[in-house]
């Protein structure tokens, strides 16, 4: 049985992004189901979670000021905060992609730079799905253990980025200008957020490893749940 991974998507662009997500999850050994505003996002029915990209997160969630260029979806904000909270409560692993990394941070009490490249002027601004940006995994991070410490070529579509870290998070990667490009939870359940879009880079082994790590964590979590259930059944019989 393949573990089921719930994938939250934008109402605007999710119809074209979800097939890529599903492909990556399938290659990694899982199967994906799509969550979008207006449909039931039942975390208890899945083994892992992906919070996808698209749309800006309302600055009201972290005490920031609204900018005129922001493209917001408050209903999606609320849905994804519930998903992240439920995933942690239920011990389900989470992979955050671009907006998803930011939502992971905000849900845990962190803040964002709304004009990230205005703040990090030495960071190279690229806006492409091709691997034209270099990021540097932090030594000793879980991300570095997955993809090695060597610099990674990734894509970039974002203009916002993580500012102050949320509770229980640490930096997993930065770019050449110091902008945070990856975050991760310091304890279980597994939670990793990357600012780039690995779903577009399914041909790159190191980017596929992000999905493999999520699916592996989902399988491990499901096995632990089954074992605990079996112990409980045995205790009741005894």
What pLDDT, on a 0 to 100 scale, did the predictor assign at position 235? Answer: 54
In the structure, what pLDDT confidence band is assigned to residue 56 with cuts at 50, 70 and 90? confident
**Overall average pLDDT of the 74-91 stretch:** 95
As given in the structure block, the two tokens for residue 198 are 């690995």
| Each residue's pLDDT tens digit, 152-195 | 999 999 989 999 999 999 999 999 999 999 999 999 889 999 99
In the structure, what pLDDT confidence band is assigned to residue 11 with cuts at 50, 70 and 90? confident
What pLDDT, on a 0 to 100 scale, did the predictor assign at position 229? Answer: 58
In the structure, what pLDDT confidence band is assigned to residue 227 with cuts at 50, 70 and 90? low
Contact status, residue 17 vs residue 236, Cβ threshold 8 Å = no
Checking if the pLDDT of 15 tops 90, the result is no
Window from 28-37, 60-69, 219-228 with minimum mean pLDDT: 60-69
What pLDDT, on a 0 to 100 scale, did the predictor assign at position 111? Answer: 96
Distance CA 85, CA 80 (A): 8
List 80, 138, 184, 199, catalytic entry: 199
In the structure, what pLDDT confidence band is assigned to residue 232 with cuts at 50, 70 and 90? low
| Each residue's pLDDT tens digit, 25-36 | 999 999 999 999
- The angle formed by the CA atoms of residues 18, 172 and 212, to the nearest 5 degrees, is 40
Checking if the pLDDT of 231 tops 80, the result is no
Mode of pairing for the β-strands spanning 48-51 and 4-8: parallel
Q: Which of 160, 147, 154 is nearest to 200 (CA)?
A: 154
Catalytic annotation present for 199: yes
**Overall average pLDDT of the 53-74 stretch:** 79
DSSP string, 54-73: -SBPPGGGTT----TT--B-
Checking if the pLDDT of 127 tops 60, the result is yes
pTM of the model: 0.92
List 80, 98, 138, 163, catalytic entry: 98
Q: Which of 55, 21, 30, 11 is nearest to 200 (CA)?
A: 21
What pLDDT, on a 0 to 100 scale, did the predictor assign at position 238? Answer: 59
Mean residue pLDDT across the chain = 92
List 113, 158, 163, 197, catalytic entry: 197
Residue of higher predicted confidence among 102 and 227: 102
Distance CA 189, CA 205 (A): 24
* Helical (H) or strand (E) element with 213: helix 205-237
Checking if the pLDDT of 145 tops 60, the result is yes
Q: Please, what are the domains in the chain?
A: 4-237 (3.40.50.880)
Catalytic annotation present for 197: yes
Contact status, residue 70 vs residue 56, Cβ threshold 8 Å = yes
Residue of higher predicted confidence among 134 and 227: 134
């Amino acid at each position: 049985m393949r573990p089921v991974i719930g994938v939250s998507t934008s109402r605007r662009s999710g119809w074209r992004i979800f097939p890529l997500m599903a492909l990556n999850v399938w290659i990694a050994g899982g199967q994906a189901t799509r969550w979008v505003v207006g449909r039931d996002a039942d975390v208890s029915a899945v083994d892992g979670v992906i919070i996808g990209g698209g749309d800006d997160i309302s600055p009201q969630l972290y005490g920031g000021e609204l900018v005129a260029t922001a493209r917001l979806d408050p209903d999606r904000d609320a849905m994804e905060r519930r998903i992240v909270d439920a995933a942690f409560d239920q011990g389900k692993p989470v992979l955050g992609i671009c907006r998803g990394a930011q939502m992971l941070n905000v849900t845990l009490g962190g803040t964002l730079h709304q004009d990230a490249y205005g703040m990090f002027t030495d960071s190279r601004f690229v806006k492409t799905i091709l691997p034209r940006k270099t990021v540097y995994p932090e030594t000793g991070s879980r991300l570095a253990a997955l993809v090695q410490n060597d610099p990674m070529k990734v894509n970039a579509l974002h203009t916002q980025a993580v500012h102050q870290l949320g509770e229980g998070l640490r930096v997993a990667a930065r770019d050449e200008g110091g902008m945070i490009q990856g975050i991760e939870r310091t304890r279980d359940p597994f939670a990793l957020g990357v600012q780039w879009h690995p779903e577009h880079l399914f041909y790159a082994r190191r980017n596929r490893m992000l999905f493999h790590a999520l699916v592996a964590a989902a399988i491990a979590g499901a096995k632990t749940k089954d074992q605990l259930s079996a112990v409980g059944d045995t205790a009741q019989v005894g």
